[in-house]
Structures are given as structure tokens and as C-alpha cells.
Structure 1
């Protein structure tokens, strides 16, 4: 009997699990949203302490969660983290893989005396011994490019660290942690070292590539690999809540971020792609060693010139996903559907997912008589051979507008509801598309969708298509025809036909504008898609955009 008992499996607990399983469990306790629960684990026992310690620094966040969509950097949190990963436990720096920081405050407002009047030292100011360590890290990397510019920057950086400025602190964290995979931050005009660091990395990448390129002036095989900060970053998100001017620093930050050697995913809210951005992305193209590895681009509530968008997408080697949601702040040379087509065509063999929301019932503010073909993408859309998922407006797809623009009535009266000569849906749709959603629909699309359904039912074309979704402008369509008069039925097996009628509130929400609070005219200063401050609403937004109703908003209201 005792022998049988000895064969029974011993009870297992957390301590008996392999370290790999323990680490997997603890990784869920170090989430950025909600209060981290990893610290109590560190105080349990030595065994769990050793497993949990690297995980406790895997994500560094120095800004509070803010319902208004913006939060300042915590200088105290920066200083504590620098001391921990560079002085107390320097071996932990390699375990930092996510850095999230908020708005960098005005430098003049950050400067404080080393010993304030209360006699207590400022905890954001490094000691002399700590400063020696910080200097060594900066010298190690910046010293790879000796020049007067680098020397001046080094001295400036060290002085700002002595003053405890958040820009200098954050830049050192990014410099000293070699395995960062994700960077998320908010736009700030009060920064100096961070954009310099991005530009410095861009130059290092070019030189390091040249060193190992046969035939180049450096390519003799005698030079070791350079130490390149941020070289392992694969995911970048940044944002602003400035709905009036947009992300005005995009022209500087964006092109340098695209030069990061392993960047795969790029996402920005309120990006402002102007002529300067076009020129700086063009510089990347002229430096062939800096062609970007970005595969996914998401631009929420953004405005671009055609040239800026074309150059940005052109620097990508193989783009697989592109999303663009329009915002109406003023920018010269506004982008149109045809411009988007020209920008994505170089990726016809790789682009699988295309999402475009241009708010088509908005007056474009340009003379469409000179080039009406820019109002739709056109027949060359068929060249997107591997496109599987397409979400686009009716006008961008067919040249038909669901309703006259409501602003600028004098111009709106001239805007065509249908562009003469525009191709029909079956003539411009890629053959391999599996998912099609058309928004801002009017009655003009019904006959074209009927042709598409016939082709699918016959099995002659679009053999992979499984979903057809139509979102009608319910606030205009309802005035002209009853919903029951949209006679569309698809009898093809495994093909789902989805028809919805949006009110104006829902359509504005789909543009990423939070209209649930406020005076009914302007959105509150909150980014629905923020990865820094609005994880819950972001998830809900992506799950519910493109449907007919918003559950928590009043239905059938024209106020937004």
C-alpha cells in the first residue's frame, strides 16, 4: 500500500513549475494597463525573485493614464529607472523591451536646484557617481562618430542630465537598453535629444551597412559592427491630441523612425504629412541603404499631401497592411483616392489589407473639374494581386458620391454625384479579394453590387470572396428611399452579404472622433485609438467600427 502511495503524483505548486512556465505566468502580471502585480512576487522568495526580476523591468512606463489622452513624463520615475538599470543592476538593461513615455515638459519649467530650500536633494538629479556611469554610456555610442557636432551634443546631453530634464533622461534610457522592441510616446515640441538620437541612429545604420558592403569606401572587412541604439525596435506608436494642427513634428520624427533597421509596425494619430515630410522621406530613398523594413502602417485622423504619402510608402520594401483615416485640418495639396492608388501600386505583390476612410461627403476644397479622375482609385486597383481585405468608400471605389457635401454650399452644388467614365465595381475590384466593405454608400451602388453578386454566384470571378458589406449613409438615403427598397440578395454558398444604414454620429465615430461627451460640436480631447491612454476604448473601436450603431450613444442624432 505504501508502495502504491509512493507512485502517486506529487502535488504541484508554483515553485515546482519550470522557470519557463513561471516566467510566462509572471509576464501577465507586468501589464501596462492597470496596476502592475509583479512587485509582490519579488518579495516572496529567492527562487521566484530571480525569475520575476527581469520581467519587472520588461516594460517601462513613465506617464499616467489620462482620460484626456495626454500625460506628462515623470522625471522622478525616469531617474529611479536609470539608477536601477544602469547603476544598481546594470545587467537588467538588456531585459527592457517596451518603453512608453508621455509629453516632455518645457525645459525651463523642469529646471530645479540641486538642493531646494527645504534642504532635501532633488531626487531627479543624479549623483556624481551616477553621472560618471551615464557619461560612459553616452560616450560609448556617440564616440563612434567623432565630430564637433557629436561633441557639442554630448556636452549638452550631460548638462541636461545634471539638471534632471525628462528629454535627457528618456533619451538615455533608449540609448542604454539594447533590446527594446516597442516604443510608444506622445508628441512634444519641447525636446532636443530624442530627435537627435533618432537622426543619429539613422546615420549609424547607413555607415554600418556601408562597412559590410563590398566595394564601398568602408567595405574592407576590417571594421567591427557598430553599436546601434534602437536597432531591435519592431513596433512604434506615437500620437497627439492636437485636433487643430495635428502631429506637427511628424515631418521630423516620422522619416527617422522609418529608418530603424528592424521596424515592422508603425502607427500614428493625427500625422501631418506635408512637403517637408515628403522631402525627408525622399532622402531615405536616395540613401539606398536606408530602405525601410516597415510592413504595417496605420494612420488615424491624418492628412497627407500626395507626394508625402507616395514617398513614405515608397521607402518600404514590402508593405502588407495600410490604413488611413482622414482628418480635415488644413493642409496644402490634400490627398485623393487616386493618389492613394499610386502610392500603394509599388506594393501590388505584397499588400494584403487596405483600409481607407476619407469622409467622402466632406467637401474636398479643390477644383475637381481639372482632374475628376482623382476622385476614384480607378481600374489599376485590379493590379493589387494579393489584396485580401478591402475597406473603402463608395466614391473612392466607383466615382459615385452618396450625398452632396454639406459644407461650403457654393462648391458643393458643383460637386458631381457621379464622375463620368469611372469604372464599375466589377471592373476595378481585385480578383483575389476575400473581404469587401464599402462605406458611405448611396443608391448608385446597388446596381453595381448586383453585378458583383451575379459574377460571384456564377463562379466565374472573385472566387475567394466571402464577405460583402455595404454601409449606406442612412441620414441621406432615408430621405430618398425606404431601406426595404435596397433589393440585394446573394445566394452564393459561403458568401455573407451585410447591409447597414449609419447615422451621422456613427459615421463620425468611425473616423476616430470621440463624440460621446462635450457640447455636441467638438470631440473631447481623447484619442479613441490610443495605445498609451485608451486601451479599452481602442479595442472597442476596432471591434465596432463599420457597424450601424454605437450602443452607448443616442441614435438618430445629427449633432456631432
Structure 2
């Protein structure tokens, strides 16, 4: 009995820990999904209250889930948070680290009806006393630029805060919290202040550079450094579930986000890189963006938009592109991707491409067959360690013609004459290679690659070769017995797998229906906002033969 009592938790032990350790423990209670567990700690004692209070505001999440997987953020919740961090306890604003918000609005009738209480003041509307405080924060930043640029916007912003629009509220949270590191949000077409805030940051960054450039418009020595909001943001994720039109605001939001001075990680679902996006990315100074990792899920882009995006980055280390061709013609070819990444040949370490090769993208196969594969210039990616790519993009070969045949598709070559062999186009420092959408035509080339490794003269760092045969290629009877490969190279692992169509579609990262609280909802597999369970499992299982548990015996997967 005495032994059992000694094992019982003792609250006093927590109080004896240094505040830094207590804070580390409490930081795990501020969860980005579900209800935060930090609030009960605030009610324990004064000592723990003081440690936990800054952590309680470190993450602000405001998303309303609905059957479509996305919804507006609560205006009341926004208003409460603003009052707390800017009026009640203004010293807490500097502790806001992560902001997650749903669709914002500039105040349409549908949103107002959802949160207005009959006969009582709307709790989402700012009071006159609160507006004084909020106005000071806005004026501090906007006042750095000439009044004719900002005066009208300032008045509009204050009016919308008085009305309680989510666009004005979220924009003020982002403006007034100086140490935000992570922003996750859902696309909205009904906003005014948020895009203007992003554009303001972009302007302030450019002016701040000009201040330190002698002879420039601002570089006369009479201007102090600009106070730049969002200057500590390092990680941005944004998404939409609109598979018909894609992320239609990408052309506006994307280039301005790339101008954030310390942004390192950028991720978007259904990015639509059109000619407007190309022009706006082109307005960024070459090599001016600090972005090191770009992930574009279920996206489509013109070659120009992708190239301009890459040219804006100083030193890209990772690029991932998963194609989606239903809201935009698939104008981009594998060679276009190579052309875009070549400026980062000395820094890019990880390249993941899924071009959805079993889908007819309407390319001009006859006139430009050489653009169907990346080619020998891929060897110039000298520090590339990890490569995941389709067989066609790597070798110019298809395992089988796409199922959705058109007049153009009938002309598609199963093999492009003159396409390089694997050993002729792979970078020498490659450590990991996975080839998807394989057909039997790749077997001999892989045998030559293994032979080169076994001889010890080339690809000395290569430790993994994975071949993934998709369902549309295996339906003609390809099985493991036909893939006759033997690997005797020390330290090199050969992995051969087979996928059916469901698994191949799953690798593209489409939508899945998930039930929560009895309410079905739709979200993308890779959503950082809504896909708590599926996202991590997706990255662990894609490119394999495993059928995820949430796809078994269900028709919720949106192929």
C-alpha cells in the first residue's frame, strides 16, 4: 500500500520545476486541433497562472467546420480575442505565435445574420473605447507611408472594426501581434483588408531595402527602419476545397506571401498559377524571397508562373508538386519543372513530382516530345539527395496510354526517341530514388543503374531505389515475376511495389470525407487545418501499396 501511494501524482512536484520546464510542459496543451487543455491550468494557482497565461494565447484558432469541410471564422471569437490581447492584457500580443483562421468576410448579410443576437448589442462589434486602442495600432503602421496612400484605408478599416467584419478583425490580429511565426488559413473571395495588409508588408519590405541603399528614393539617411508587420512569419499554409476553380486568389495571395521577409516554408492546396500569377511573381526582385521549401498539392501552373516563383527564391531546398488538371489545362511539362528548378542546382535537396501521368493533359505531344521528360540537365542538380518522380518525366516512357483517350491522346508516344537512360540523367549525389507509374520498359534501365552502383564507380551515395507500378500499367498482366531485378550492391535497397487506381489517386492527395461529432465533412488529405488524422498518415503511406484505413470499405474518397 505504501508503495502504491508513492506512485500517486503529486501536484507539488510540478511547482518545484523551473518555469522554463513548466512552460515546455504547458506548450503541449495548446493544441492546434480540438479544444485546448491549457485553460484548466490557469485556474490552479498564481504561480502556474503566470507561466501558463502567455501560452494560452500562443495559438489562436478560429475555424467553423461544416459539411463542406470549410467555413467562416466566428466574428465573436475574433472580437473576444482582440479585446483580450489588445485591451485587457496588451502585453500578451507579443506571445501570439500561431494564427489559424477560416474564411473571412468583408461583412455580407449571411455572415451578419449568423451571429447577430436579437435585442442585444452585437458582441462582435467594437466599442468606441476599443476602437481608440485598435486605431492606434493601425495608425502606427499605416502612418509610415504617405497619408494619401493610407488615409482612406485607415478610415475604412476602423469602420469595419466597428461593424465587426471578420476581414477587419483578422487583419488587425495579424497587424498587432509582432511575433507570429505560423499562419494557416482558408481562401476567401470576400475580403478587403487582408490582401491590402499583405501588399502593405510587401511595400514596407521593399522600402526598408531602399532605406539601406544609398542614392535610392528612401536612402537619403533621413528615414528610420520601417516597422514591418508579419516580419517574423516563417511558415504559411493556405487552402481551398474548390476543385472546380482551384485557389482562385493564389495570383494575389501567393506573390505577396513570398515577400514576407523571414518566410521559409510555404504550402498551398489547389494553387492556380496562371499568367497573372506569373506577372506578380515577376514583380518580386530575383533571389529576394527567403522561402526554402515549397509544397503545392493538387495544383496546376503555367510554366511562366512556376519559373517566376522559383526565380524569386534565394535558395530553395525542397520542392513538391502534385498535379491537378480539372480546373486548369495541364500546360506544364516535366522539362518546364526542370527549367524552373535549375537556378537552385546548388541548394535543392528534395524534389517530389507527381504529374498524374495516366491523365491526358492535352499536350502537343507531336511537336515537343522532348519536353515530356526532364533530360540530362537533371544531372546539374548537384546536391539533390531525394527524388520522387514518374517514369515518363524521368525516361520519356509511359507504362500504358491514359484511359481518357482523345484525338490528341491517340498520338501520345509510349516512348520518346532519344530520351536519356537513367544512368545518363540522374545526379551523382542522389541518395533516394522512387519512380512511380512504371511499366516494364524501365526494368532494363534500372538494371544498368544497379550495375553502375555495384561497380562502385558511380552513384556512391545511392541507398534506395523504389519502383511503383500503377494499376493502369499492370492491368495488362504485369506482375512481380516479370520485374527480374537483382541487387547485390552493399547498402542499396531495391523496393518494387504495385498500386491499383485507388492507391494512385490517393497519392495525388485528393479529398476525403471524415465524420466528426456525427457530422460528415470533406477535407483534403493534406490539410493542416482540418485533416488531423489523415495528413500524417498520408505522408507516411503515399507511394506504397498500402490502402489507408480510412479508404477501406468507404465511398467517401473523392477521386
Residues 509 and 515, structure 1, Cα contact 8 Å, conserved in 2: no
Superposition deviation, residue 485 in structure 1: 1.6
Superposition deviation, residue 119 in structure 1: 2.9
Superposition deviation, residue 473 in structure 1: 1.8
1:394 corresponding residue in structure 2: 391
Superposition deviation, residue 44 in structure 1: 0.6
2:325 corresponding residue in structure 1: 328
CA gap 1:152/1:423 in 2 versus in 1, 3 angstroms? same
Q: When the two structures are aligned, how many residues end up with a matched partner?
A: 542
List gaps (5 residues or longer) in structure 1. Answer: 1-9
CA gap 1:525/1:119 in 2 versus in 1, 3 angstroms? closer
1:42 corresponding residue in structure 2: 42
For the residues of structure 1 that align with 2:531 and 2:16, how far apart are their CA atoms? 38
User: What pairs with 1:433-444 in structure 2 (closer than 5 Å)?
Assistant: 433-444=430-441
Higher alpha-carbon deviation: 436-445 or 215-224: 215-224
Superposition deviation, residue 58 in structure 1: 0.3
How far does the alpha carbon of each residue in 1:35-94 deviate from its partner, in whole angstroms, 9 at most, with x for none? 211001001111100000000000001113557431211100000000000000000000
Residues 321 and 352, structure 1, Cα contact 8 Å, conserved in 2: yes
2:239 corresponding residue in structure 1: 239
- 1:471 aligned onto 2:468: yes
CA gap 1:116/1:169 in 2 versus in 1, 3 angstroms? closer
Matched position secondary structure for 2:251: helix
Matched position secondary structure for 2:339: helix
1:538 corresponding residue in structure 2: 535
For the residues of structure 2 that align with 1:272 and 1:95, how far apart are their CA atoms? 34
How far does the alpha carbon of each residue in 1:328-363 deviate from its partner, in whole angstroms, 9 at most, with x for none? 124357100000000000000000000000011111
User: What pairs with 1:71-90 in structure 2 (closer than 5 Å)?
Assistant: 71-90=71-90
2:429 corresponding residue in structure 1: 432
- Equivalent residue for 1:410, pick from 407, 410, 432: 407
Superposition deviation, residue 535 in structure 1: 2.0
Superposition deviation, residue 475 in structure 1: 4.2
CA gap 1:58/1:11 in 2 versus in 1, 3 angstroms? closer
1:384 corresponding residue in structure 2: 381
Residues 443 and 477, structure 1, Cα contact 8 Å, conserved in 2: no
TM-score when normalising by structure 2:
0.93
User: What pairs with 1:248-397 in structure 2 (closer than 5 Å)?
Assistant: 248-285=248-285, 291-331=288-328, 334-397=331-394
For the residues of structure 1 that align with 2:451 and 2:12, how far apart are their CA atoms? 61
- What's the C-alpha RMSD, in Å, of the aligned pairs? 2.3
Residues 65 and 532, structure 1, Cα contact 8 Å, conserved in 2: no
Residues 186 and 239, structure 1, Cα contact 8 Å, conserved in 2: yes
CA gap 1:282/1:49 in 2 versus in 1, 3 angstroms? same
Matched position secondary structure for 1:86: helix
Residues 198 and 256, structure 2, Cα contact 8 Å, conserved in 1: yes
For the residues of structure 1 that align with 2:41 and 2:406, how far apart are their CA atoms? 64
2:445 corresponding residue in structure 1: 448
The runs of at least 4 consecutive aligned structure 1 residues that moved more than 6 Å come to none
For the residues of structure 2 that align with 1:233 and 1:35, how far apart are their CA atoms? 24
2:55 corresponding residue in structure 1: 55
Matched position secondary structure for 1:468: strand
TM-score when normalising by structure 1:
0.93
Superposition deviation, residue 126 in structure 1: 1.1
Residues 406 and 412, structure 1, Cα contact 8 Å, conserved in 2: no
1:21 corresponding residue in structure 2: 21
List gaps (5 residues or longer) in structure 2. Answer: 1-9
For the residues of structure 2 that align with 1:71 and 1:386, how far apart are their CA atoms? 42
Matched position secondary structure for 1:40: helix
1:164 corresponding residue in structure 2: 164
For the residues of structure 1 that align with 2:209 and 2:177, how far apart are their CA atoms? 22
Residues 274 and 332, structure 1, Cα contact 8 Å, conserved in 2: no
Matched position secondary structure for 1:369: coil
User: What pairs with 1:179-258 in structure 2 (closer than 5 Å)?
Assistant: 179-258=179-258
CA gap 1:406/1:516 in 2 versus in 1, 3 angstroms? farther
Residues 432 and 462, structure 1, Cα contact 8 Å, conserved in 2: yes
1:6 corresponding residue in structure 2: none
CA gap 1:559/1:275 in 2 versus in 1, 3 angstroms? closer
CA gap 1:468/1:136 in 2 versus in 1, 3 angstroms? same
Residues 106 and 166, structure 2, Cα contact 8 Å, conserved in 1: no
Matched position secondary structure for 2:407: helix
For the residues of structure 2 that align with 1:96 and 1:387, how far apart are their CA atoms? 36
2:6 corresponding residue in structure 1: none
CA gap 1:507/1:26 in 2 versus in 1, 3 angstroms? same
CA gap 1:221/1:106 in 2 versus in 1, 3 angstroms? closer
How far does the alpha carbon of each residue in 1:76-131 deviate from its partner, in whole angstroms, 9 at most, with x for none? 00000000000000000000010000012462226759x97843211101111001
2:505 corresponding residue in structure 1: 508
